[in-house]
Chain A
Amino acid sequence: MRKLFILVLTIVPFLVSCETALFEEDLATTDANANFEYLWNECNEKYSYFELKGIDWDAVKTEYSAMLFEDMTQDSLFNVLGGMLTELRDDHTNLISNFNISFFGTQYLGQDNYYGRLIEDNYLAQSFYISGPFAHDFLDDGQIGYVRFASFPGTVDDTNLDFVLDRYKDTKGLILDLRENGGGAVSDIFKILSRFVEEKTLTHYSRIKNGPGRNDFSEAEPVYVSPSNGIRYTNKVIMLIDRGTYSAGSFTALATKALPNIVLIGDTTGGGLGLPNGGQLPNGWTYRFSITQALTLDKRPDFEDGVPPDIEVLFDFNDLTRDEVLDRAILELQ
């Protein structure tokens, strides 16, 4: 047993020294410059929309690095780093600490275009149905179906969709309300759209950053939607959108441009067509920013600034008995 102890006492320090040599130095630091440099560089090499947004990231570095000073508080540093990220004008870009989260706020690029209580009070019966993530009922004397979809929770399933679409199968048209839908699970997009196509349809393209250069991207990959084996709706569909329609909501709006039976009504979406990538800074804060580009059928990334509606309609807050956007959709289907 004594030999065992001697061996352990000899070997363990040797192995620990090997381990120390193997690992690079510990980079944990609260130093403002180190954290600034780390975040700037991560964005510099991986963010996907510099060119489209015309952002001079080097100039941003010059501007914001000048705001750093010795012994600055964590709050001050957060404001500098968070401010630098908001220059990307992208709500998939956040700095996250345990005392604040930075954001840009694409919904503020346009007016508020949705008032949920108004619809419940003036358009729907009190007994409207809730099927999973869908709230829905008949409008216009049963001739139109209205479906409110407030987020993409990742829980859309065939049972929800079969029930909803079966209920409105005899209507003239369906209104899918995606206003103020901030996004969520991408899988829900394709489950929903698969109910509105009759054949495999190319909807858009996507590409991902694959190198440190600002235009280092993979080949544009096609995105298809295939028809579901469940109940499909073949009549006209109106999708309501606004600046609060973001991320997965914008992806859905983008895809509808390739689907002739779906019309977009409302305001331009908030964009958010890049997949957000999460990471951590040397001081423990976390961040995220977009690393992919969704491209139109002619392979342009332009809709990151928002997917425009086919028919632009804005809500009038002077009359809180009518939803002008919804009224226009009903008119379109009559």
Chain B
Amino acid sequence: MKNVTITLICVLFVPLIGFSQNKDSALSKKELRKNRPTYRGISLLGLGVGSFRDFATSPLIYSGLSLSSSRFQIAIDKHRETEWGSSLTIGLFGNSFNDHTSSSIVISPAIYYSELYELRQLSGDKLNVKVGGLLSITSNIRINEGLLNNATGFELIPTLFGSIKGTLDVSRKTERTKKFLFFKYKLDKRKKSLALRLNTGLVNSSYRNGYVYSGQSFLLNDPQLFDDYQFKVFSGFRMSSSLDYTLYSRKTTNAVQISYVWDAYKTGGNLDKFEMAQHALRFTLLFNTK
């Protein structure tokens, strides 16, 4: 726990260093923005595992598998990175304990926007470090028939993160010949990168049900979708990370990316906390548009 705390403190303060540095580029900001390479990323089949618990309805942890797809646009160069996108994750989670099994379908749409700036003090030819922020809004629609009138649950988790991203150039600069058993093969020059991004929630908000979870609007002959919900601006904690291995095409400017994405959060307060964690492996096609 002590290590986690130290890491969090570092992540929180690193963005301040990034924003305070001087920029001495020969190109104007407008020219830099105009020339920044832009990619569209499409991931159609991400595989994930995860778990959640909603104390409002159950003290039990539900675990399961999920499939996800995502779509994003990223404008990136060594000085700045702007990304926005959306994802949809559908999972089947269950709890089996004491000969009782219950399951929950969880549908999680999310949108996000991120800005990162180079941290020159830590950047070099091989390693590029950027810091900045990420605004993410994740929602969960949960269906658990066993909970009767509480069968459908919903929460919205908006988070403003402080982010740090390190990108390592692992390109193969020269051709190499290798041998596997009796087979010889040649490895061509290849542009590749390995990036690790860590996000820590600075403003963790939640939009959740009220005290008894159910609302009474339909008893009032005035049904409302988010009946008795409460928005809490500072509530809980969230962390997420992604590890991206990007392999650029030899013939085009496109790329493929394999990512391991982790996201974990909990809402705050003493009552009816919600906890969720997801690990996902994603395969993304990156199309260079500029």
Q: Is A117 an interface residue (CB 8 A)?
A: no
Interface residue stretch chosen among A50-58, A125-133, A284-292? A284-292
In the docked arrangement, what's the CA distance between A190 and B273, Å? 35
In the docked arrangement, what's the CA distance between A30 and B279, Å? 30
Interface residues of B in 72-112 (CB under 8 A from A): 95, 97-102
Contact A278 B57, beta carbon cutoff 8 Å: yes
Interface residues of B in 137-185 (CB under 8 A from A): 146-151, 168, 170
Q: What's the least CB distance linking A185 to chain B, in Å?
A: 9
Contact A223 B220, beta carbon cutoff 8 Å: yes
| Residues in A whose Cβ lies below 8 Å from that of B219 | 186, 206, 223, 251, 275, 292, 294
Contact A17 B151, beta carbon cutoff 8 Å: no
Q: Is B213 an interface residue (CB 8 A)?
A: yes
Report if A17-B4 is in contact (Cβ < 8 Å); known contacts: A97-B100, A186-B218.
yes
Contact B98 A283, beta carbon cutoff 8 Å: yes
In the docked arrangement, what's the CA distance between A208 and B275, Å? 26
10 contacts between A and B (CB under 8 A): A4-B243, A4-B245, A28-B59, A208-B215, A210-B210, A222-B220, A277-B214, A278-B149, A280-B57, A280-B146
B interface residues, tally (CB under 8 Å)? 55
Contact B212 A283, beta carbon cutoff 8 Å: no
Interface residue stretch chosen among B29-37, B249-257, B260-268, B282-290? B260-268
Q: Is A121 an interface residue (CB 8 A)?
A: no
In the docked arrangement, what's the CA distance between A291 and B275, Å? 24
Q: Is B211 an interface residue (CB 8 A)?
A: yes
The list of the 5 closest CB pairs from A to B, nearest first, reads: A284-B100, A278-B148, A280-B58, A27-B59, A278-B147
In the docked arrangement, what's the CA distance between A298 and B243, Å? 63
Interface residues of B in 205-260 (CB under 8 A from A): 210-216, 218-221, 223, 228, 237, 239, 241, 243, 245, 260
Q: Which residues of B contact A (CB under 8 A)?
A: 1, 3-4, 51, 53, 56-61, 95, 97-102, 146-151, 168, 170, 194, 196, 210-216, 218-221, 223, 228, 237, 239, 241, 243, 245, 260, 262, 264-266, 273, 275, 277, 279
Select which of A4, A21, A28, A98 is within 8 A of B60 by beta carbon: A28
* CB closest chain-A residue, reference B227: A208
Report if A279-B147 is in contact (Cβ < 8 Å); known contacts: A21-B4, A23-B53, A186-B219.
yes
| Residues in B whose Cβ lies below 8 Å from that of A206 | 216, 219-220
| Residues in A whose Cβ lies below 8 Å from that of B215 | 208
Q: Is A11 an interface residue (CB 8 A)?
A: yes
| Residues in B whose Cβ lies below 8 Å from that of A161 | none
| Residues in B whose Cβ lies below 8 Å from that of A21 | 1, 4
| Residues in A whose Cβ lies below 8 Å from that of B279 | 15
Contact A18 B214, beta carbon cutoff 8 Å: no
Report if A276-B149 is in contact (Cβ < 8 Å); known contacts: A18-B4, A187-B218, A208-B216.
yes
In the docked arrangement, what's the CA distance between A223 and B260, Å? 51
In the docked arrangement, what's the CA distance between A153 and B212, Å? 25
In the docked arrangement, what's the CA distance between A3 and B194, Å? 8
Q: Is A8 an interface residue (CB 8 A)?
A: yes
Q: Is A224 an interface residue (CB 8 A)?
A: yes
Contact B100 A285, beta carbon cutoff 8 Å: yes
Interface size class of A (residues with CB under 8 A): 35 or more
Q: What's the least CB distance linking A2 to chain B, in Å?
A: 10
Contact B194 A4, beta carbon cutoff 8 Å: yes
Q: Which residues of A contact B (CB under 8 A)?
A: 3-4, 7-8, 11-12, 15, 17-19, 21-24, 26-28, 30, 38, 46, 74, 97-98, 186-187, 190, 206-211, 218, 221-225, 251, 275-286, 288, 291-292, 294
Contact B100 A275, beta carbon cutoff 8 Å: no
State the majority secondary structure of interface residues on A. mixed
Q: What's the least CB distance linking B263 to chain A, in Å?
A: 10
| Residues in A whose Cβ lies below 8 Å from that of B194 | 3-4, 7
Contact A27 B228, beta carbon cutoff 8 Å: no
Contact B148 A280, beta carbon cutoff 8 Å: no
Report if A28-B97 is in contact (Cβ < 8 Å); known contacts: A279-B58, A291-B214.
yes
Report if A8-B260 is in contact (Cβ < 8 Å); known contacts: A22-B237, A278-B151, A280-B57.
yes
Contact A282 B60, beta carbon cutoff 8 Å: yes
| Residues in A whose Cβ lies below 8 Å from that of B102 | 280, 284, 286
| Residues in A whose Cβ lies below 8 Å from that of B212 | 46, 208-210, 277, 291
* CB closest chain-B residue, reference A34: B59
Q: What's the least CB distance linking B208 to chain A, in Å?
A: 14
| Residues in A whose Cβ lies below 8 Å from that of B57 | 278-280
In the docked arrangement, what's the CA distance between A74 and B97, Å? 13
Contact B97 A24, beta carbon cutoff 8 Å: no
| Residues in B whose Cβ lies below 8 Å from that of A22 | 237, 239, 264-266, 275, 277
Report if A223-B221 is in contact (Cβ < 8 Å); known contacts: A28-B60, A38-B59, A280-B57.
yes
Given contacts A15-B279, A294-B219, 18 further A-B contacts (CB under 8 A): A4-B243, A4-B245, A11-B260, A15-B264, A21-B1, A22-B266, A209-B212, A221-B220, A275-B214, A278-B57, A278-B148, A279-B150, A280-B146, A283-B100, A284-B102, A286-B147, A288-B148, A291-B212
Q: What's the least CB distance linking B176 to chain A, in Å?
A: 13
Contact B149 A15, beta carbon cutoff 8 Å: no
* CB closest chain-A residue, reference B101: A284
Select which of A28, A210, A211, A224 is within 8 A of B221 by beta carbon: A224
